A = this chain, B = another copy of it.
């Protein structure tokens, strides 16, 4: 069917006196619509030259039927889960997902200067990308709904977890287990861009130590590129300290996986000689028996898409926070045991 005119699901619903969701379900073939009703709706839609997908955008109130999703990368657990959650909700609302990947600071600068989104999308979801004042004003100038994921925005709608709190949940767990020498493996990207999640988790680490009255020594913080190799390097740096930590908080599970590799190669038993905790609850964390603070990733995506659709339909921008939760597995243990084994490891080495 080639559309001859702009017809929306709302038009079809109005003419037949049924709800928009009935029209949507009938045209999508979803169960729950009586066959006679479905036939009437399909006939009417065909008479109106209705074409399902592009026009479905009118349901959401948009013009292009498409939403732009801006991410730093796609091929890691967090980002692919968030985008997957976004795409699912948009698809069910009849909207398409255009993905813009901007891995480097230069890509991001160029993206915000050129803003290829204009007249190509009805709204934008920005995942984790650091937004400076210039980028914010460029985005705002688009005059379309924007939702920011993974940090709280002062200007746009946003969906996030409280990364400071997530870090405190992780470090408090180590403190309660008696650890005092608690290391941190934090991450920077190659452009030295400061990412909101990293800053907030680092602050949460310091806040938790301060609350426990623990003296904070700089040689217990390793800064590495994000990823498995970065985590491996970070643990090497921490093990280079004169007095290494007995427990380490890692920025994320993938970083912790790398740290685990270094520990295994060093013959340092986890959790006997070293406790490890991180953030995410990556699918591999359970297999690695990794204690972690779970953050819902695909749910951040679904919620962001819902907030964006709300705004496209005219609602005011709003903020949503999702909870994080400690998941205790076998990579953490009380210090009393750990210190004895570290000494025996020292003797063996």
Contacts and interface: CB of A to CB of B under 8 A. Distances in A.
B120 A54 contact: yes
Interface in A17-75: 28-29, 52-54, 66, 73-75
A129 B20 CA distance: 31
Contacts of A228: 283, 287
Interface in A129-185: none
Chain A interface size, as a band, is: 35 or more
Contacts of A254: 283
Contact of A100 (B81, B96, B110): B96
Interface stretch (A82-90, A210-218, A304-312): A82-90
Contact of A75 (B66, B100, B298): B298
A192 interface: no
A99 interface: yes
Contact of A99 (B99, B116, B120): B99
A76 interface: yes
B91 A101 contact: yes
A344 interface: no
Given A116-B52, A260-B287, A283-B228, A99 B73 contact: no
Contacts of A294: none
A203 B298 CA distance: 35
Contacts of A284: 257, 284, 287
Interface string A95-121: 011111100001000100110100110
Contact of A96 (B75, B120, B261): B120
Nearest to A119: B54
A223 interface: no
A110 B257 contact: no
A183 to B, nearest CB: 20
Given A74-B83, A75-B298, A116-B52, A91 B100 contact: yes
Nearest to A56: B116
A80 interface: yes
A97 B114 CA distance: 17
B98 A96 contact: yes
A87 B74 contact: yes
A57 B54 CA distance: 21
Nearest to A79: B80
A313 to B, nearest CB: 21
A120 B96 CA distance: 10
Contacts of A283: 228, 254
Given A75-B80, A84-B73, A283-B228, A97 B99 contact: yes
